[in-house]
Amino acid sequence: MSASARDEDGAVPAPPGLASAPNATAGAAAEARQLLRTLKVFEGALKAFDIQAAPQDPMRLFDDWFRDAVRERNVEPHAMTLASVDAQGCPSVRTLILKDYDASGLYFASSARSRKASELAQRPRVALNFYWRESGRQIRIGGAVLRCSAQQSAADFAARSADARAEAMLGRQSQPLQRWQDWEDAIGVARRQLQDEPDCVAPDWALYLVRPDEIEFWQADRSRRHERLQYLRENDGWVRQMLWP
Ligand SMILES: Cc1cc2nc3c(=O)[nH]c(=O)nc-3n(C[C@H](O)[C@H](O)[C@H](O)COP(=O)(O)O)c2cc1C
């Protein structure tokens, strides 16, 4: 390799698409690349997906797959990724817990003063993704997001554990934290308030509903014949189509 192919520290530049970590040596970067290639995917007990038998209503299929994921001991099957965009169209994602689902859609709860909440207030559309790796299943959902009523949010708050309620009382999610002492002070105040007023509700705790207009079910197959079934909302119902893997 010519000297010009190396950077000032003598490290080999990472190939396009794989940036080397700061201070990583060429050997460490190559080892990381090698390590990545040894890792397997779709190693779980993959499920069958009978697309012909899929129900007309995608939320029924969601219910079937979610129950399968729980039954088959997928790790944290209620954890999902939620993507939002800011006013400039810049996307961001984070993991959230699914709190409920019904014929209207899927529910999550968070602080109405968080980064995600301010993005949702400006652009009330989200994408959700579930990946149940033990079953090789993925569900992708897109739709409008609505803030639920104060009563529904209060009910979600009341169902949280004591620690989770105290944390929600802080109301500063996604703001910069200067030092841990600030958090210790605030959580102490929140715990005392909850002891004195057990029925109080964090004013900015919010339950949100994602009302899907697109749901795609994806089933991995070891010979790469991955099956995809997409539902699109049309008028009062849904149309379905398979997608190329
Ligand atoms: C497994 C898991 C579950 C989480 N569940 C929630 C949740 O239900 N609600 C929530 O506000 N944050 C939850 N978080 C934290 C979020 O990922 C995120 O850090 C936080 O909501 C702030 O996001 P934002 O800055 O985009 O608003 C969870 C994180 C993990 C890893």
> Would 238 be classed as within a structural domain?
yes
For ligand 1, whether the C-beta of 116 sits within 6 Å is yes
Q: How many whole angstroms from 96 Cα to the centroid of ligand 1?
A: 5
Look at residue 29 and tell me if it is in a domain: no
210 alpha carbon, distance to own chain's centre: 13
| Residues 6+ positions from 67 with CB-CB distance below 8 Å | none
Question: Is 45 domain-assigned?
Answer: no
> Measured from the CB, is residue 174 less than 6 Å from ligand 1?
yes
Q: Does residue 36 form part of some domain?
A: no
In tens digits, what is the pLDDT along the chain, a chain of 245 residues?
A: 333 344 444 444 554 545 555 566 899 999 999 999 999 999 999 999 999 999 999 999 999 999 999 999 999 999 999 999 999 999 999 999 999 999 999 999 999 999 999 999 999 999 999 999 999 999 999 999 999 999 999 999 999 999 999 999 999 999 999 999 999 999 999 999 999 999 999 999 999 999 999 999 999 999 999 999 999 999 989 999 999 99
Cβ burial of 75 (10 Å; 0-12, 13-18, 19+) is exposed
Gyration radius of the chain's alpha carbons: 23
Q: Is 77 exposed, middle or buried (0-12, 13-18, 19+ CB in 10 A)?
A: buried
The CA-based diameter of the chain, rounded to the nearest angstrom, is 72
232 belongs to a structural domain? yes
Of ligand 1's listed atoms, the one at least distance from the Cα of 116 is 27
Q: Is the CB of 115 under 6 A from ligand 1?
A: yes
Query: What's the structural domain count of the chain?
Result: 1
pLDDT of residue 23: 60
Residue 164: which domain range? Answer: 57-242
Q: How far is CA 29 from CA 8, 10, 35, 78, in A?
A: 16, 13, 10, 35
Count of helices and strands (H, E) across the chain: 6, 9
In the prediction, which pLDDT does 7 show?
A: 45
What are the b/e assignments for 179-215, b being 16+ CB within 10 Å? eeeeeeebeeebbeebeeeeeebbebbbbbbbebbeb
At residue 4, the pLDDT reads 39
pLDDT of the residue at 25: 87
Q: What is the CATH number of the domain that holds 233?
A: 2.30.110.10
d(CA 42, ligand 1 centre) in Å: 26
- How remote is the CA of residue 74 from the centroid of ligand 1, in Å? 20
Question: Is residue 112 domain-resident?
Answer: yes
Best residue among 96, 107, 173 to mutate for probing ligand 1, ranked by most atoms within 8 Å of CB: 96
Give the tokens for residue 118.
């301010």
Q: Is residue 35 domain-resident?
A: no
CB 114 within 8 A of CB 65: no
Cβ within 8 Å of residue 91, ≥6 positions away: 83, 84, 85
User: How far is ligand 1, taken at its centre, from the CA of residue 121, in Å?
Assistant: 17
**Structure tokens belonging to residue 97:** 């817990």
Q: Which amino acid is at 168?
A: A
Nearest CA owner, ligand 1 atom 31: 95
Does residue 94 line the site of ligand 1, with CB under 6 A? yes
For the whole prediction, is pTM greater than 0.85?
A: yes
Q: Write out the two tokens for 176.
A: 């910069």
- What is the pLDDT at residue 209? 98
Look at residue 12 and tell me if it is in a domain: no
Among protein residues, the one whose CA lies closest to atom 19 of ligand 1: 94
